[in-house]
Amino acid sequence: MPAPDFKKLHKIAYQVRQDVLRMTVLSESGHLAGSFSGSETMVALYFADILRHDPKRPNWEKRDFFILSKGHVCPTLYSVLARKGFFEVQELDEYAKLGSRLQGHPHFAFGSKHNLPGIENTSGSLGQGISQAAGIAIGLKMDGKKNHVFCLMSDGEQQEGQVWEAYTFINHHNLDNFVGLIDCNKIQISGKIKNVLPIRDLKLKLLAFGFRVFEADGHDFADLIKKLKLAKSHERKATVVLLNTIAGKGVSFMENDSKWHSHVPNESEYSQAMKELEIKGKNN
Amino acid sequence: MSSTSQIKGNRDGFGKAMVEIAKKDPQMVVLCGDLSDSLKLTEFKKLFPDRYVECGVAEQNMMGVASGLALQGKNPWVVSYAVFNPERNLDQLRTAVYSELNIKVVGGHAGLATGRYGSTHQALEDLAIICSLPYMTAIVPSDYQEALTLSQQLHKIKGPGYLRLSRLAKPNVYEIAINNNIKIYEKELKIGHAQILNQGNDLTIIANGLMLQTAIEATALLKNMGLSVELLNLHTVKPLDETVIINSVKKTKALLVAQEHQLNSGLNSSIAQLIVNNFGTKLNQAIACEFMGVDETFGESGSEEELYQKHSLDKLAFLRKAKLVLAKKKSLA
């Protein structure tokens, strides 16, 4: 396997951010802070040979599953899927419009022909993706299949009780084909997580539940790819990767500011943000 | 101790159905939240240990795991008490239904007759919740045979479904009918079809679940009093069998509906809406209606006889309500 082209990945991550910003302004709806904090993670999964997939065969039996649990950052996933060739990039403009396959939070209807290629699950109500991922993982094991299931959550999402039910379940059933990814951007709608409802030492908690835990810099492709590859290596334990990220990463005035959890930029904010993303995308 | 404790009830029929379904469908799986003995899954667990997923007392995760299994092409049944499933995990079920997943939800210990456990274990809202969800099929069997037959039919319907079960075991409908000199008019049990148990012209009674056996006894008593009752077994609460219900009330012009559920919703409100919607088209005359159910309160500990009596869901309550609805009919004529 060729060494990852970090420069190219960086460029894609910033192209994705520009897509997301444009979609957010066009639809007057979106969640920029979390969409930007998770950009490198989703780009790494799809563009750095982590997630086994084929854009031409979205339902390929041998694919790895990507379950987005923090559904509000779906513009990032939509952009990554479009840029990877699952569907036309042009369709991104339909995001959150009436009748669109790109719903404001992802919708997957079993057996429907209207599904957006690459979308595996419905999400939007936090805390549910991990259980869906666990169900897929245990189903694969029942059938003796080797596919992996990745599930991307947020750190604020760890406030949901269901997540902890699922952690117990996953470890009891030895679902070593499960990889949890937690985008730790440290904010939620009302402010800093540490002020709203702190989740304290997540690593310690996850270890106590029985997980193998890795930490990664969520914006450094070298570190990300190394840890994601490690996570995929079976060690008869389920794995969680804690991604240290910056909310709103890439736009100076959005970084680490919870205001941008779901705020839509005005015209001048949009121009400045777009300019910054263009420049940063070119410089690595 | 109830004298009916040796009788096989609807939860036994459900447990048997799980074994029968599993024999035919290798993709069928069962998830349960630490209630496998109570909900009669002991034999299923023994015969199909690899297809039984123990989820512990974590019903939200259980529904999510079932969703994942359905996404993976399995045909899951999610089993617990109705107060937890679908009441505690409604959000997770709603997501599954929105995803049009093939998930069957089983709510046990529904209604008042849950032994002496009290209100925390007496689900009286589950049908209101379930009927409000699109794409849903909702089944309320009364006895062993109904649960056995209708569970197997429900499994064949792709998409979300709900099966409501009771703790109390009542004798089979046929047995009760024979003991009360009622000759069953229509024997076929089919999802979506209101079974006409007795034909009549004066009053329509609609019931399901454990109310059905009581309704048969009430029908016999009313017959002895010279009244001709049409008794419908409405085991399928969603979708409603509009044709049979409308044709019946058109004929009798008087309706009594009974359910072991909150009075204001579930079967009662579905039927009330159906009738009102048909005024001016299929119905050209007012229909006298009375509804039975738990009225704006919760259950409590007690014997089933005490609870049914207190909440006016016993045989005598049927007679009181019948008298009331027939008086209404007279004043409307």
Verify that B181 and B99 share a domain, yes or no. Answer: no
Q: What distance in Å separates the CA atoms of residue B189 and residue B202, rounded to the nearest whole number?
A: 25
User: Is B128 part of a structural domain of the chain?
Assistant: yes
Looking at the complex, report in whole angstroms how far the Cα of residue A128 sits from the nearest Cα belonging to chain B: 6
| The domain made up of A6-282 is a member of CATH 3.30.450.20 | no
Residue finishing a domain among B164, B189, B220: B164
Of A214, A137, A204, A210, the C-alpha closest to A182 is A214
Let me know whether B150 and B127 are in one domain. Answer: yes
Judge whether residue B6 has pLDDT over 90: no
The pLDDT, as a whole number, for residue B272 is 98
Distance of CA A14 to CAs A9, A89, A218, B240, Å?
9, 15, 14, 54
User: With a cut of 50, which residues of chain A have pLDDT below it?
Assistant: none
Range of the domain at B69: 10-164
Looking at the structure of chain B, the number of domains it has is 2
Residue B4 belongs to a domain: no
The answer, yes or no, to whether the previous bond of B171 is cis (omega within 30 of 0) is: no
ipTM of the complex: 0.97
Nearest chain B residue to A133 by CA distance is B68
Of B100, B269, B82, B66, residue with least CA distance to B162: B82
Let me know whether B84 and B188 are in one domain.
no
User: Where in chain A are the domains?
Assistant: 6-282
Q: B157 and B256: one domain? A: no
The answer to whether residue B259 is domain-embedded is: yes
Q: What value does the mean pLDDT of chain A take?
A: 96
Could you tell me if residue B3 is inside a domain?
A: no
pLDDT value of position A1? 62
- State whether B137 and B190 are in the same domain: no
Is B131 in the same domain as B228? no
CA of A202 to nearest chain B CA: how many angstroms apart? 20
- Give the domain CATH number at B179: 3.40.50.920
CB A39 within 8 A of CB A16: yes
Query: Do both B158 and B291 map to the same domain?
Result: no
* Residue range B180-193: mean pLDDT, rounded: 96
- Say whether both B201 and B318 belong to one domain: yes
Are the C-beta atoms of residues B114 and B224 closer than 8 Å to each other? Answer: no
Q: Does A139 reach chain B within 8 Å, measured CB to CB?
A: yes
Flag whether B2 is in a domain.
Answer: no
Burial class of residue B24 in the structure, from the number of CB atoms within 10 Å of its CB (0-12 exposed, 13-18 middle, 19+ buried): exposed
Encoded tokens for B21? 């379904």
Res B27 pLDDT > 60: yes
Q: Is the pLDDT of residue B115 over 90?
A: no
Test A131 with B29 for CB contact under 8 angstroms: no
The residues, any chain, with a CB within 8 Å of residue A181's CB and separated by 6 or more, are: A41, A150, A151, A152, A153, A240, A241, A243
Query: Would you say residue B79 has pLDDT above 60?
Result: yes
| Half-sphere exposure (Cβ direction) of B118: Cα atoms closer than 13 Å | 1
Last residue of a domain, one of B164, B197, B220: B164
Q: Are residues B278 and B308 in the same domain?
A: yes
Question: For A163, which residue in chain B has the nearest alpha carbon?
Answer: B61
Place of tokens 């008019």: B185
| Residue among A122, A201, A124 nearest A155 (CA) | A201
Give the model's pLDDT for residue B5.
57
φ/ψ of B28, rounded to 5, equals -75, 135
pLDDT at residue B98 tops 60: yes
Q: What's the burial of B123, exposed, middle or buried (CB within 10 Å: 0-12/13-18/19+)?
A: buried
In this predicted structure, the answer to whether residue B3 has a pLDDT above a threshold of 70 is: no
Query: B51-65, pLDDT tens digit by residue?
Result: 999 999 999 999 999
> Smallest CA–CA separation between B11 and chain A, in Å?
26
In this structure, the answer to whether residues B289 and B307 fall within a common structural domain is yes
- CATH code, domain with B148: 3.40.50.970
Examine residue B299 and state whether it is found in any structural domain, yes or no.
Answer: yes
Same domain, B181 and B326: yes
Q: Is residue B282 part of a domain?
A: yes
Is the Cβ of B70 closer than 8 Å to some Cβ of chain A? yes
Do residues B46 and B76 share a domain?
A: yes
Phi-psi region of B192 (alpha: psi -120 to 50; beta: other; left: phi over 0): left
pLDDT at B1: 40
Instruction: Note if the pTM is more than 0.90.
Output: yes
- Residue A168, chain B, CB below 8 Å: the answer is yes
User: Do the Cβ atoms of B231 and B215 come closer than 8 Å?
Assistant: yes
Is B285 part of any domain? yes
pLDDT tens for A154-209 read 999 999 999 999 999 999 999 999 999 999 999 999 999 999 999 999 999 999 99
Sort out which chain B residues have CB atoms less than 8 A from A138's CB and list them.
53, 65, 68-69
Q: Measured between alpha carbons, how far is A215 from A198 in angstroms, rounded to an integer? A: 19
Token readout for B218 is: 């009430």
Per-chain mean pLDDT for chain B? 97
Secondary structure of residue A151 in the 3-state scheme: strand
Q: At what angle do helices B10-24 and B144-156 cross, to 10 degrees?
A: 40
